[in-house]
Amino acid sequence: MAATRYDVLGIGNAIVDVLARTDDDFLVAHKMPKGSMSLIDEAQARLIYQAMGPATKASGGSAANTIAGVASFGGRAAFVGKVKDDELGRAFTHDIRAIGVAFDTPPAQDGPTTASCYIFVTPDGERTMNTYLGAAQNLSPADVIDQDIADSSITYLEGYLWDPKDAKEAFRKAAKIAHGAGRTVALTLSDSFCVDRYRAEFIELVKGGTVDLLFANEHELRSLYETGDFDAALEALKRDAKLGVVTRSEKGAVVVGAGKTDAVPVFPVQRVVDATGAGDLFAAGFLHGYAKGLPHTDSARLGALAAAEVISHIGARPLKKLSDLAKENGLKV
């Protein structure tokens, strides 16, 4: 097989996060399902921002956070996603390149602004998200460069790509190229409401072999198989997926594949300040380890470490260099 240029290439919605703290009453008053991601239009975005407290802005986007994490572990990483050539889009581009990620998707010159996600962090550290997709809606198959995908050990895709109109075509195109080149295709289910919207298609992707490696959290997995019983959902995953990685918040993570089940505990944190990015960064650690050929349990430990770093501060991307953090904790990267 040809040598790779990238360990992981991610395709996702390119989003700038607008983060503010709030209390639970605010979520209730604004009918925001706690812990979820809701899609909003421009008018709703304006109203939500008006009601929001003082906010900080930081680059986000689920797959983009994961890819930033891979780069922070020292992995060779690339990202495909659509911003506009505006203030937010330039900030997104700066941040992802500054962490060492190759990001060359041409920005939109007109049309809607760069995507924003309005994130409310409650005192328990949980985050509740409202996404205005903006320019991210215009990601198209033309933005997927064949050679980049063929040169990537893993192509990683977010389930949220089912929301913008043409992005799933970009996803299917990428998966086909990746498999054509003998590479691995990974998917995250993203959010349980997202699974609700596209359940049948997601199951087909996993069962049909379009996806080799599936990431889900407990809620998403139960939503996928429409059961309240975690063990039943995990059994179904074992049956359907080549390799599945399920995160369970404070209960750690489970890796299922090839008839084996491995559990890995969480890394202890002093306090969950902001859960934003926890799943994204878990995926970063696992993907980095997987690309390096580490055993699944070692990869999952890197995931747990990266998740612990990101939930101990505001914002969805690591503030510490994850390769250093791994070494400090005696983990191989």
87 binds a copy of itself (CB under 8 A): yes
- Interaction of residue 52 with a copy of itself, rule CB under 8 A: yes
Q: In 3D, which of 306, 288, 60, 71 has the Cα closest to residue 186?
A: 288
Options 234, 305, 315, 322; binder of a copy of itself; rule CB under 8 A: 315
CA distance linking residue 197 with residue 93, whole number of Å: 30
Asked if 99 touches a copy of itself (CB under 8 A), the answer is yes
Interaction between residue 53 and a copy of itself (CB under 8 A):
yes
Q: Which of 24, 38, 39, 91 binds a copy of itself (CB under 8 A)?
A: 91
Q: Is position 289 an interface residue for a copy of itself (rule: CB under 8 A)?
A: no
Q: Which of 86, 126, 235, 240 binds a copy of itself (CB under 8 A)?
A: 86
Tracing tokens 């995926």 back to the chain, one arrives at 283
For residue 66, CA distances in Å to 32, 108, 110, 212, 252 come to 25, 23, 28, 17, 18
In whole angstroms, the minimum distance from the beta carbon of 166 to a copy of itself comes to: 27
Q: Is 280 in the site for a copy of itself (CB under 8 A)?
A: no
Place of tokens 């995990």: 234
Which is closer to a copy of itself, CB of 113 or CB of 153? 113
**DSSP 8-state secondary structure symbol assigned to residue 189:** -
**55 touches a copy of itself (CB under 8 A):** yes
How far is the C-alpha of 59 from the C-alpha of 51, rounded, in Å? 21
Q: Can residue 324 be called a binding residue for a copy of itself (CB under 8 A)?
A: no
Q: Which stretch binds a copy of itself (CB under 8 A): 35-43, 182-190, 221-229, 307-315?
A: 307-315
| Residue 319 interacting with a copy of itself (CB under 8 A) | yes
Q: In what order do the strands lie in the sheet with 213-217?
A: 102-103, 77-80, 6-11, 152-158, 184-188, 213-217, 243-247, 253-257, 260-264
Report strand pairing: 253-257 vs 37-39: unpaired
What is the DSSP track for 79-142? EE---BSSHHHHHHHHHHHHTT-EE-PPPBSSSSPPEEEEEEE-TTS-EEEEEE-GGGGG--GG
Q: Tell me whether residue 86 or residue 240 sits nearer to a copy of itself (CB atom).
A: 86
Identify which of residues 95 and 163 has a Cβ nearer to a copy of itself in the complex. 95
Answer whether 171's CB lies under 8 Å from 157's CB. yes
Closest separation between CB of residue 309 and a copy of itself, Å? 13
58 binds a copy of itself (CB under 8 A): yes
Among residues 86 and 262, whose Cβ is nearest to a copy of itself? Answer: 86
Does 124 contact a copy of itself by CB under 8 A?
no
Of 264, 265, 270, which is closest to residue 312 (Cα–Cα)?
Answer: 270
- Draw the binding track, 6-45, toward a copy of itself (x: CB under 8 A; -: no contact): ---------------x------------------------
Q: What are phi and psi of 105, to 5 degrees?
A: -60, 125
# chain residues binding a copy of itself, by CB under 8 A = 26
Give residues in contact with a copy of itself (CB under 8 A). Answer: 21, 49-50, 52-59, 68, 86-88, 91, 94-96, 98-99, 313-315, 317, 319
